[in-house]
Structure 1
């Protein structure tokens, strides 16, 4: 019996269950592929996710988005039109940033790296000058040199920490100011309909492809960074339409392939209407709205405020445990 037959008319006929993927694979044993490691589809996906999905800050972010949605009476595509992001029981539509976002990310990275580099240089210089002063007895000259070094590095360190922490503040409080979000999404996952939609990045809301989630293959692709180290991205590829979509907007490129394997498991669990939603902090306030999830939580007696009643240190501990498991995934 299908999920739709079990749960009335909430889920569309195209809603994803592992059986549909199994049947599709059996019907399409030979299909086009792309360069990269093709990831497996799980018959029963474990409750997993990336390190970022378990961040304590996701509780406040998700609640803020929900408050905005309720205050403005937003439904459907209007949620993204107004808020430029959607992450709930029905859809995941990550923000689509303008090209200037890369410059801001670089500025924040330079700020963070520059601050710690300045601190390291000052520490080494102070240590070295003090050692010299002890052996030479020239304390006055050494303290004078330390003062001059601190005077030189202080404005540089101040600028670096401004770029780093100022960017982080704007990223959390006013992302539209920092990055400049585009008016249309890059892609959408819809649990209720089971469809994965890829949009034209140059034409707002124009679809390049909309197809059932189970028709896509997932790949890990690697590319060298500026230092030659492999950096991985998660890609969904339709083997018959030959259209691919990087999922960097939701799951940023990383040197840890296990994190993106966990991201792929998270997406399968999110879309599988035969299982409850992934139990992560950001989705907790939406769990009661999804029929499968609400029924499962009622059977298990799950505390509806499991994440929200947990202190930050406890959430952080779970996050670290998940991360340690993820880095071993292949």
Structure 2
């Protein structure tokens, strides 16, 4: 883009059901078949190194009591134990990585449809319903649960991981109906609450049409299409190629500053304006 040339996207003809522009933020995941190959590669790699580390002590213990030579003992242990204990995850890692790197058509595929949408233009939040009273299975009709954004409240749900560490996830829940969005797929659960708070700030800023679009690289090409943002950029003299022309060193510095602002976010020190209008029930 910096050289004013277009790099064609070989998968541009595939609708992955994702939109992130001046009008809507629509989110979708890759299908289970795509995740299968990613888990095969990543999981195989993780298990290979885990099993490798776990097998070092048993290996030396075994050869210390063997009457055969170290070389013969190693061959015996490898053929009888390591060939499958390390071989299976290594094979999984190799196959998964080969498919991902060299056969993208086998795993880069669209899912059945989007999961949720935040619409800046209409002010509506939509959760796509694939149960839809059985209609999706019958004729492929995807249900839509829609409500105004101002009727939703944000929550941070905390639950322990397998090690007992608290994992925080942002939820958006409708105040009167059973409509809820779990943002765990968009922002991975973590021990800190600040990233979830920052995501909530981003969502509010995105949906507030009285304010310009969040100043992020993905919105650079859409800023002139949003009236509020276009007026803000005209008034402030913002460079329309601010992100596009940014050099790598400056970009890294800006990202570090963003991370610092997230770490210092003051969400829980702000007044709760909704407390005057609603009663929260645990």
Instruction: Compute the TM-score of the two structures, normalised by the length of structure 2.
Output: 0.66
Partner deviation per Cα, 1:6-62 (whole Å, 9 max, x = no partner): xxxxxxxxxxxxxxxxxxxxxxxxxxxxxxxxxxxxxxxxxxxxxxxxxxxxxxxxx
Map 1:141-290 to 2 at 5 A: 162=94, 177-178=107-108, 180-182=110-112, 184-202=113-131, 203=136, 204-208=141-145, 210-290=146-226
Which of the pair has more CA radius of gyration?
2
1:92 aligns to what?
A: 25
For the residues of structure 1 that align with 2:24 and 2:163, how far apart are their CA atoms? 37
Unaligned runs of 5+ in 2: 1-6, 58-69, 269-282
For the residues of structure 2 that align with 1:313 and 1:114, how far apart are their CA atoms? 36
Alpha carbons 2:42, 2:93 under 8 Å: kept: no
For the residues of structure 2 that align with 1:178 and 1:254, how far apart are their CA atoms? 27
For the residues of structure 2 that align with 1:83 and 1:326, how far apart are their CA atoms? 30
- How far does residue 93 in structure 1 lie from its aligned partner after superposition? 0.7
Alpha carbons 2:30, 2:110 under 8 Å: kept: yes
- How far does residue 198 in structure 1 lie from its aligned partner after superposition? 1.3
- How far does residue 193 in structure 1 lie from its aligned partner after superposition? 0.5
Alpha carbons 1:256, 1:327 under 8 Å: kept: no
RMSD: 3.9
Alpha carbons 2:17, 2:110 under 8 Å: kept: no
Partner deviation per Cα, 1:96-118 (whole Å, 9 max, x = no partner): 33344554554344355357658
Alpha carbons 1:95, 1:249 under 8 Å: kept: no
Alpha carbons 1:96, 1:181 under 8 Å: kept: yes
2:31 match: secondary structure: coil
- How far does residue 217 in structure 1 lie from its aligned partner after superposition? 0.2
Summarize the Cα distance change of 1:162–1:278 in structure 2 as closer, same or farther, 3 Å threshold: farther
Partner deviation per Cα, 1:158-194 (whole Å, 9 max, x = no partner): 7586478668758xx76x8246512x21111100000
1:75 aligns to what?
A: none
1:293 match: secondary structure: helix
Q: How many residues align?
A: 235
Partner deviation per Cα, 1:252-310 (whole Å, 9 max, x = no partner): 33333211111110010111111100001111111111000011011111111111111
Summarize the Cα distance change of 1:167–1:85 in structure 2 as closer, same or farther, 3 Å threshold: farther
Summarize the Cα distance change of 1:169–1:261 in structure 2 as closer, same or farther, 3 Å threshold: farther
Alpha carbons 1:185, 1:199 under 8 Å: kept: yes
2:46 aligns to what?
A: 113
Alpha carbons 1:199, 1:207 under 8 Å: kept: yes
Summarize the Cα distance change of 1:102–1:157 in structure 2 as closer, same or farther, 3 Å threshold: closer
- How far does residue 230 in structure 1 lie from its aligned partner after superposition? 1.7
Alpha carbons 1:115, 1:160 under 8 Å: kept: no
For the residues of structure 2 that align with 1:225 and 1:84, how far apart are their CA atoms? 30
